A = this chain, B = another copy of it.
């Protein structure tokens, strides 16, 4: 049963008015940024600029008030100074607008009491006028299926991941970090102060959103603790929920109050809440994407927690073993049978390590490589596999030759996907020069598109896989999934 309010209307408006787009503004002006972003992103409905000065911009008529626009207006974006917002709300209510996103800041988050008064005022006016409010003090909505974006560079492709963010900057970073690594979004909500619609509203809605399979959130603090706990408990029953909870230090909590007026709450309480509800706690936006990638691509959902790792590099193998163990993962010992079958594949043992991690030391051609991967795929030791590429560990090879050699090796890794049955994580790490960074970036995108979870460092792979595996273990233990 779904008692949550259906917020679909927010994400699929037919018409949008933007307040704060005058003729004279410069290119970094915020109202203009919203206008251009929607047009370039491909919003299909009508868009209307508003400014008391009137005039024209980009060939479009600027209306002096939302009331003057012909036809219905579903959604208003406000990029005007805070002091003018009460009038905007009054006009919007008269017009029958359904929702306003206030990019405008200078409300509940500033120390000056006038900001809090103003916020209470616009929220009261909006309620009376039947208008829902996104923000204030935020970047608003990104929803590719609705043609909504505050930045035209974001991917136009929809994906299964939703994000609720109390920071616009972190929302923007999450979208770009995700997009650059093959993670695509259903809906991203930069919600700012959450003075009307808050984190609980969005969470309750997204649990039932068919477009969304994985939920993520950047939380500084919540307005309605009990309601949020209830919403979170309900959410984790059907979808993985990954939360970056910040403001846990004294300075961080103070910054959070000034940023979005959020009360952060103690770290202990949050640890308890997240554990109790089965939500996954991420340590950063990047880690949130790492964990998301594990959920998207470490398929089929594994049956156990044992990982066998392979790749090239002795020093890397030692670090892999440490980091994976420290993250709480289990690296099983290889049976003598498996060890023998691997050793037999190779011309010599010198420089190689036939333990776990398996250090192949050197590339011996595609045939031996495929046989190695198939042997690991069929072995009883491993529930999951990982392969790593340590770009800078190939110490004797020039950058130019590395581009060729590692490029070829990465292509082969891409080809294994269809040959093996176990979930396989790919770790591309230790790339320093601009050429290797570029190679790793491009390969990461290609391998993710081929269906792999790709991680940019050993530690980040270990942490993401550990949280992913613990999530499934806890659910198996709890008997919710067999």
Contacts and interface: CB of A to CB of B under 8 A. Distances in A.
A168 B110 contact: no
Interface string A248-266: 1111101110111000000
Given A249-B326, A319-B246, A325-B250, A353 B397 contact: no
A249 B459 CA distance: 14
Given A259-B317, A441-B434, A110 B349 contact: yes
Given A177-B432, A392-B173, A432-B176, A318 B398 contact: no
Contacts of A355: 251, 254-255, 258
Nearest to A167: B315
A212 B151 CA distance: 49
A58 interface: no
A314 B259 contact: yes
Given A258-B355, A284-B459, A390-B173, A249 B397 contact: no
A146 interface: no
Contacts of A397: 28, 33, 151
B247 A350 contact: no
B315 A396 contact: no
B318 A167 contact: yes
B395 A433 contact: no
B173 A321 contact: no
Interface residues of A, number: 100
A5 interface: no
A168 to B, nearest CB: 5
A322 B248 contact: yes
B246 A393 contact: no
A165 to B, nearest CB: 8
| Most chain B CB atoms below 10 A, which of A190, A325, A395, A405 | A395
Interface in A152-205: 152-153, 165-173, 176-177, 179-181, 190
Contact of A433 (B176, B313, B351, B437): B176
A37 interface: yes
A150 B106 contact: no
A19 interface: no
Contacts of A405: 28
A165 B438 CA distance: 27
A333 to B, nearest CB: 8
A137 B27 CA distance: 60
A314 B171 CA distance: 12
A285 interface: yes
A393 B284 CA distance: 14
Interface of A: 27-28, 30, 33-34, 37, 81-82, 104-106, 110-112, 115, 137, 139, 150-153, 165-173, 176-177, 179-181, 190, 218, 220, 246-252, 254-256, 258-260, 283-286, 313-322, 324-326, 331, 348-351, 353, 355-357, 359, 390, 392-399, 401, 405, 430, 432-434, 436-438, 441, 457-459
